[in-house]
Amino acid sequence: MVRELLRATLEGPLAARLRRFFVVGAVAAGLQTLLLAGFVEYGQVHYLLAAAVAIEITIVFQYVLNNVWTFRAAKNTGWGEYLSGLAKTNLVRGSAIPLQLGVLYGLVTWPGIAYLIANGIAILVSGVYRYVLDARWTWDV
């Protein structure tokens, strides 16, 4: 599956959309990491709560960018369709929050990986899951 996904980013009809999705995801991952660090280091918020808040902020951020750029051919237009898509992506990405927080917690707790590095790994693990569900349900492609 991973091999097919990597091949699809280089060739085939999904290549451009997958690359755009990865770019949006990378930008959002950077934003999420900055928010997480800010909440923990400056706000003195526990890293798991800070991660959950940062994830939700980036869910909305990614929806806006993905709707305008990544899935522009199937983009949600009009208030009803737009808000329905936002609700769907929140369900999809929200269902990935326990997965991402579980990986984050596990990596910080057992091997003792720094929370920002562990968060990056957790983002990668949940990324494939989020793409498949978002593409199939939020934008129905």
For 98-137, how does the pLDDT look when each residue is reduced to its tens digit (9 = 90+)? 999 999 999 999 999 999 999 999 999 998 888 888 888 8
Rounded CA gap, 2 and 14, in Å? 15
CA distances from 9 to 15, 44, 75, 120, 141 (A): 4, 39, 20, 20, 16
User: What does the pLDDT read at residue 129?
Assistant: 82
pLDDT value at 12 more than 80: no
pLDDT of residue 5: 64
Q: Which two tokens stand for residue 119?
A: 């968060």
Answer yes or no: are the C-beta atoms of 54 and 32 closer than 8 Å. yes
Interval 70-105: pLDDT, tens? 988 888 899 999 999 999 989 988 899 999 999 999
Distance CA 58, CA 60 (A): 5
Q: Is 93 exposed, middle or buried (0-12, 13-18, 19+ CB in 10 A)?
A: buried
Give Cα 122 distance to the centre of its chain.
Answer: 10
Q: What is the DSSP string of 102-137?
A: HHHHHHHHSS---HHHHHHHHHHHHHHHHHHHIIII
- What pLDDT is stored for residue 93 in this prediction? 86
pLDDT tens-digit profile of 16-69?
888 898 899 999 999 999 999 999 999 999 999 999 999 999 999 999 999 999
Burial of 16-43, coded b for 16+ CB within 10 Å and e otherwise, reads ebbebbeebbeebbeebbebbbebbeee
Q: Is the pLDDT of residue 7 over 90?
A: no
